[in-house]
Structures are given as C-alpha cells and as structure tokens.
C-alpha cells in the first residue's frame, strides 16, 4: 500500500503526488501528517526549507477543509512572493484530482485587483505575504471568520523581515478557535514568543537537530586575503565546472558588482537584489530555474524563499551580518534529501566567525585549500574529456558537413587532430592559469576547528613542508605531464638530460595530467632552472617553478611570467579573463538535466536577455565568448 494512503491521505491526492514523484513521505511529513490530520492541536514544526514542509501541512489541509463551501477556511502566511507562489502552485498540484479546490496567492508587487477578484469568486485557501494580506483586510475585502487553520511558514524569516506586527494584526482577524501550525527553520526567542502568544499547548516536532543545518550539507571555508577573494572565488568555480550555485553577498552593490564582473569574465551569472523590479526578479529567477543561469548572485533579502532544487553550492562571498542568516543561506542547497556544499570565503579577521557559525549549526567546518592554477586546469581538462565522450552527435545534420570536415583534416593523423582540438580550448586555460599564484594563507590561529583538532598548526606547516619537498629536496613544478605522453621514466630522462644532472639527484616524481611535480636535491635545483631555460617541447615553452611558491621575492621561475599580476584587472584584484570555448562558454552548458537553451552553430550568434532591462549578446566562435552588458541600476533606499 502506498505509504501516503497509510497515513490517511485520500486516493485522489495520492495519485497526484505520485505523479510528481512523491513515493514515500519525507521525515517531516511522516511525523507531522498524523498530528495535523487530527485537526485538534496547535503545532510547531522545526524544519529546514526543502524538507517537504509544504506537503506536511498542505495534505492535511486538503483532507480537512470543506470544499463544497467557497469561503476562506485556511490562511497560510509566508515571507516572500516566491514562496507564496510556490506554495499555492504546490497545493494546486496536490489537489489536481480533487474538485472545487480554490487557492489564491496574495502577494505584493502584483496587481491587487486580480487578487481581489479571485477572492470574491470564492476560495478556501489563502496563501499570502503579510503586507498585502493586511492591505486586503484593510479594504474589508476578505472574511476570515470561518478560518479554521492558520499556517505560519518560515516564521523565523517572517520575523527577520519585520513582519511581527503585521502577523499580530492578521491573526487578530481570525477566530480564537482556529488551530495554528507554525513552521520554522530556527527557533529564536521571537518565534518562541509567537508560539506562546498564539498557541495552546502545541505539539512540537523537530526534523534534524534543533537550530542546526541540514545534515546533508558540507560546510567548507577558504582562508584568503581580502584582495584575493574574487580570484579565489573564480578558482573554486572553475574547479567545479558543473556548479549550479547561489552566491550570497552582503549588499546590493556588491551583488551587482560581482555579477557584472562574472558576466564580463564570461560566466553565466546574474544578480538578484532589491533594486530590481518584480518583473526583472521574475526573469532572473526563471532563467535560474531553467538552468540558463549557472550562478545566481543574491542578497539575503532577495534570496528569501528561493526554492530551487539541485543547487549544488551555496557560496558565501561575504558572510552574513546576521549569524542566523547563514542557516537560511546554506539551506538553499541539499534540498529534498540531496547533498550540497556551503562555502565561505573568509579572511584572517573573520576566523572567529567560523567558530560562532560552528556553534550555531552544531557542525564543524572543514578548511579547504583554494585550488592551485594547475589543479583547476587539470579539472577542466577532465571535464572536457568527459564532455567529448558524452556529447550527443546529431548524425543527420553532421553527415552533410562530414565530407568537408574530412577533407580539411586529411593531412592530419588522429592523434594530431585530437591534440589540436584539445589545444584549441585548452591553451586558453593553460595561459590563464599560467603563473597563477597560491591564494591560500596560513591561519593565524587554527586551534579551534575540527580540522585544527586533526592536523593542528603544525599539521598545516608540515603539509606546506611536503609541498616544498622532502628534506634536502626542493619540489618543482613543470608544465608537462602525462597528456604529453611522458611516462615517469621518460620524465626522469627528460629532466636529467636537460639539467645535466644524475637521476640520483631526483626524488619523487608526481605526474599529473597536464603537469608534473618532481623533487630535486637542493644543491641541484639551479641546474634544473638553467638547463630548462629556453627549452620547448612540441612547440610549448617548458616552465619550471618551485612548487607552492607564493610569488614572494624568493620566487624562481625561468619562464618569465609576471607572477601574481598576470591576468589581473578590475576592482576585485581578481584574475579576469574572457572565457570562451569549452568549459568557458557557460551559457550553453547542459548537464544539469537542463535543456541546452542557446546553442550556436559554427561561430553562430546567440542572444539572451539580461535581467536588468539590459540586453546581452554573446557570440560563440573561435574568438572565444564576449559579452556586452549594459544594465541600469535604479537607486533605492535599502542597501539590500
């Protein structure tokens, strides 16, 4: 028997929810539905967003309201328009096979007359944001005298947003006999106060641990200099090519700046903040939901109620001012039983905040190292190989071009063609990350986190030590690796021949895809640098560097890059580049189960719209992508 039927949900509803993939109840549904179906208790449910709360209260409402009547019997209050629409749509989906169920969504920023008309026509369930609800009550346009159930969804968010008084006023319009069901991700004292004021002996349920984040979220932080934040952020993004993320900033201006910088750098991102009109916000959200956007850059306020599944990463570009907001932010990932990663970019001064956050979420953060340029490059290479393996070939269309393609490549061997195709895209990455500095910094005080417990400050040093080579050896980096068809033996010979040193002077050789680390006895290091001066391999200049060298004055590298400043521009001290080609053109990346929206043909032209009333055009061709972005920003009072 279907477990929802066993819980007491009617067949029509079970049929509808089966169609949208609900096979068995989530934890909150399993616990809350039996309580709420009795209809006789007030209720407090502590549950994160994404745990299935909507059905937890929605299904019992559908069981208990009298749909032969056409007056409001249930009122659901929630903090944002997005959530309001989401809840009403969900309820309509659940009620797909029921007759006469009328739900109205009442929220600000939309035409009030349409909402009034729907109310007049007769509804049983009103889903509302507090401001607009009060407006409608003020017009005497709704009768709440038969409301039996009030649901306060995301109560903590509503209070955070200053809706306390509005909620009080709305609740005073409803009968004393009603039952109140409150859902909240956290239980600050303000929420507790509401529970005490409006409820009688509520049944209290907690899903997961009180006040903690979702267990499926991994919390990570990266310790970096403030000036390197943007560069570090991009490396993290570049080493996660399939990221589908929400990036949180503290202010609207920061949000806008980061989004613009990312767009200029060729990423598929857009901003969501309080300066946008509702229409613009809807557009941005639609593109994000459709997966046409890979990253949404948002303020806390703008992102409230965002309910998108499969968000892989939440990135705290800046930590929130209010510590409670961290839970809300990270709760945007790992929804519906999925896993997710919440990343914080912090500088030395912010380390203590990590400790506070650990207390709030009841879980340790893991410190991660910003990937080195070479690692990012290797990651991108693997992704590209994967993509080539996975790409769908449209034989029908390709066949027409095939003779011309074959003729064009007639004189090249298969290996040559593969190499050239890879180089076409890959040189760009190699170039961009060439001489990219190490962006990690040592923690000043790392005695408090879990990682500290495991590795401690000495552990940190020893890791760095190992990167610098075994005792008596220096660890060097070379920009050639396995993809250059070197075996370890070949590599040893290559190093010895060029440096004119004996194989005995070489320690460990660690060959990666596109680069190699190798150890050389300290006294022989200069010979290696000398020996490789001006050497190139298959047309590429061989580059040797001391591994893990942060670009300080003692840096040695013979290939002459201006390390640390190369590729930098713009206001974030970041590494900018025009990304194009594979791995670069984020615009048409499939792979999120999403449809590819805007594929260009050979050097074809694509267009898509920016969310700020500006229009962007992007051209894909062998020139790489370029974006021209001309957005307007209006002034408004709040910095969020």
Residues that bind ligand AMP (CB under 6 A): 21-22, 25-26, 29, 49-55, 307, 309, 335-336
Question: Using an 8 Å Cβ cutoff, are 186 and 156 in contact?
Answer: yes
CB of 285 to ligand AMP, least distance (A): 15
The residues with which 340 forms a beta bridge, in sequence order, are 217
Cα separation, 625 vs 618, in Å, equals 6
Q: Could you tell me the two tokens for 105? A: 């969504």
3-class DSSP assignment, residue 254? helix
CB closer to ligand AMP, 7 vs 436: 7
Cα separation, 272 vs 296, in Å, equals 7
CB closer to ligand AMP, 114 vs 290: 290
Distances (CA, A) of 484 to 215, 423, 481, 559: 43, 12, 5, 18
CB of 131 to ligand AMP, least distance (A): 22
CB closer to ligand AMP, 22 vs 233: 22
Cα separation, 561 vs 343, in Å, equals 31
Q: Please report where in the chains the tokens 């320690």 appear, as a residue.
A: 507
CB of 134 to ligand AMP, least distance (A): 25
CB of 193 to ligand AMP, least distance (A): 25
Q: Which strands make up the sheet holding 43-46, listed edge to edge?
A: 103-106, 125-128, 74-77, 149-152, 179-184, 43-46, 203-206
CA angle 408, 414, 415 (to 5 degrees): 125
CB closer to ligand AMP, 21 vs 601: 21
CB closer to ligand AMP, 49 vs 255: 49
CB closer to ligand AMP, 335 vs 563: 335
Q: Which DSSP category does 348 fall into? A: G
Cα separation, 271 vs 297, in Å, equals 5
CB of 299 to ligand AMP, least distance (A): 21
Neighbours of 393 (CB within 10 A): 8
CB of 152 to ligand AMP, least distance (A): 15
CB of 104 to ligand AMP, least distance (A): 19
CB of 607 to ligand AMP, least distance (A): 31
Question: Using an 8 Å Cβ cutoff, are 242 and 312 in contact?
Answer: yes
Any idea of the CA torsion for 559, 562, 567, 572, to the nearest 10 degrees?
150
CB of 124 to ligand AMP, least distance (A): 20
CB of 45 to ligand AMP, least distance (A): 11
Cα separation, 533 vs 543, in Å, equals 8
CB closer to ligand AMP, 154 vs 545: 154
CB closer to ligand AMP, 289 vs 452: 289
Identify the burial level of 328 via C-beta atoms within 10 angstroms of its C-beta, where 0-12 means exposed, 13-18 middle and 19 or more buried: buried
Cα separation, 283 vs 610, in Å, equals 9
CB closer to ligand AMP, 52 vs 580: 52
CB of 51 to ligand AMP, least distance (A): 5
CB closer to ligand AMP, 309 vs 526: 309
CB closer to ligand AMP, 54 vs 521: 54
Question: Using an 8 Å Cβ cutoff, are 66 and 149 in contact?
Answer: no
CB of 32 to ligand AMP, least distance (A): 11
Q: Could you tell me the two tokens for 500? A: 């004119």
Question: Per residue in 580-612, is it b (16+ CB within 10 Å) or e — as a string?
Answer: bbbbbbbbbbbeeeeeeeeebeeeeebebebbb
- The DSSP string of 369-434 is PPPPHHHHHHHHHHHHHHHHHHPPP-HHHHHHHHHHHHHHTTTS-HHHHHHHHHHHHHHHHHHHHT
CB closer to ligand AMP, 84 vs 384: 84
């Amino acid at each position: 028997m279907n477990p929802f039927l066993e819980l007491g949900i009617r067949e029509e509803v079970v049929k509808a929810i089966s169609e949208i993939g609900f096979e068995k109840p989530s934890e909150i549904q399993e616990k809350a539905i039996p309580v709420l179906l009795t209809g006789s208790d007030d209720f407090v449910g502590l549950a994160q967003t994404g745990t299935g709360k909507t059905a937890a209260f929605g299904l019992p409402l559908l069981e208990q309201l009298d749909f032969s009547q056409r007056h409001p019997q249930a009122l659901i209050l929630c903090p944002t328009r997005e959530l309001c629409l989401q809840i009403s749509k969900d309820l309509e989906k659940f009620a797909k096979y029921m007759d006469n169920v009328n739900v109205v969504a009442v929220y600000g920023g939309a035409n009030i007359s349409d909402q009034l008309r729907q109310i007049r026509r007769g509804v049983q369930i009103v889903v509302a944001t507090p401001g607009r609800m009060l407006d409608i009550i003020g017009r005497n346009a709704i009768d709440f005298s038969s409301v039996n159930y009030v649901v306060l969804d995301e109560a903590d968010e509503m209070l955070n947003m200053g809706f306390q008084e509005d909620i009080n006023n709305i609740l005073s319009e409803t009968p004393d006999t009603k039952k109140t069901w409150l859902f909240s991700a956290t239980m600050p004292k303000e929420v507790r106060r509401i529970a005490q004021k409006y409820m009688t002996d509520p049944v209290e349920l907690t899903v997961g641990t009180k006040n903690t984040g979702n267990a499926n979220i991994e919390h990570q932080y990266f310790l970096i200099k403030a000036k390197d934040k943007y560069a570090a952020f991009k490396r993290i993004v570049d080493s996660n090519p399939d990221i589908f993320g929400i990036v949180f900033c503290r202010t609207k201006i920061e949000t806008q700046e980061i989004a613009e910088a990312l767009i200029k750098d060729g990423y598929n991102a857009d901003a969501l903040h309080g300066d946008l009109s509702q229409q613009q916000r809807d557009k941005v959200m639609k593109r994000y939901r459709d997966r046409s956007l890979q990253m949404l850059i948002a303020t806390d306020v703008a992102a409230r109620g965002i309910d998108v599944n499969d968000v892989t990463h939440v990135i705290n570009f800046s930590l929130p001012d209010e510590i409670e907001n961290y839970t809300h932010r990270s709760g945007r990932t790992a929804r519906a039983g999925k896993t997710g990663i919440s990343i914080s970019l912090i500088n030395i001064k912010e380390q203590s905040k990590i400790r506070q956050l650990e207390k709030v979420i009841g879980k340790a953060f893991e410190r991660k190292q910003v990937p080195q340029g070479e690692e990012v490059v290797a990651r991108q290479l693997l992704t590209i190989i994967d993509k080539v393996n996975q790409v769908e070939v449209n034989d029908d269309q390709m066949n027409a071009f095939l003779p011309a393609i074959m003729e064009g490549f007639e004189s090249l061997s298969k290996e040559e063609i593969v190499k050239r195709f890879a180089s076409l895209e890959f040189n760009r990455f190699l170039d961009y990350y060439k001489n990219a500095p190490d962006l990690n910094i040592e923690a000043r005080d790392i005695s408090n986190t879990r990682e500290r417990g495991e590795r401690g400050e000495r552990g940190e040093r020893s890791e760095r030590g190992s990167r610098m080579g075994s005792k008596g050896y220096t660890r060097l980096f070379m920009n050639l690796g396995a993809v250059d068809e070197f075996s370890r033996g070949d590599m040893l010979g290559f190093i010895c021949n060029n440096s004119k040193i004996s194989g005995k002077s070489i320690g460990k050789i660690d060959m990666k895809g596109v680069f190699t680390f190798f150890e050389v006895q300290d006294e022989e290091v200069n010979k290696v640098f000398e020996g490789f001066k001006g050497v190139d391999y298959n047309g590429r200049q061989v580059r040797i560097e001391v591994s893990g060298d942060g670009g300080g004055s003692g840096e040695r590298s013979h290939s002459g890059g201006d390390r640390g400043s190369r590729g930098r521009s713009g206001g974030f001290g970041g590494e900018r580049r025009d990304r194009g080609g594979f791995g670069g053109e984020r615009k048409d990346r499939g792979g999120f189960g999403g449809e590819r929206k805007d594929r260009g043909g050979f050097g074809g032209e694509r267009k898509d719209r920016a969310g700020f009333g500006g229009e962007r055009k992007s051209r894909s061709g062998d020139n790489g992508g370029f974006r021209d972005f001309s957005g307007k920003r209006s002034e408004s009072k709040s910095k969020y």
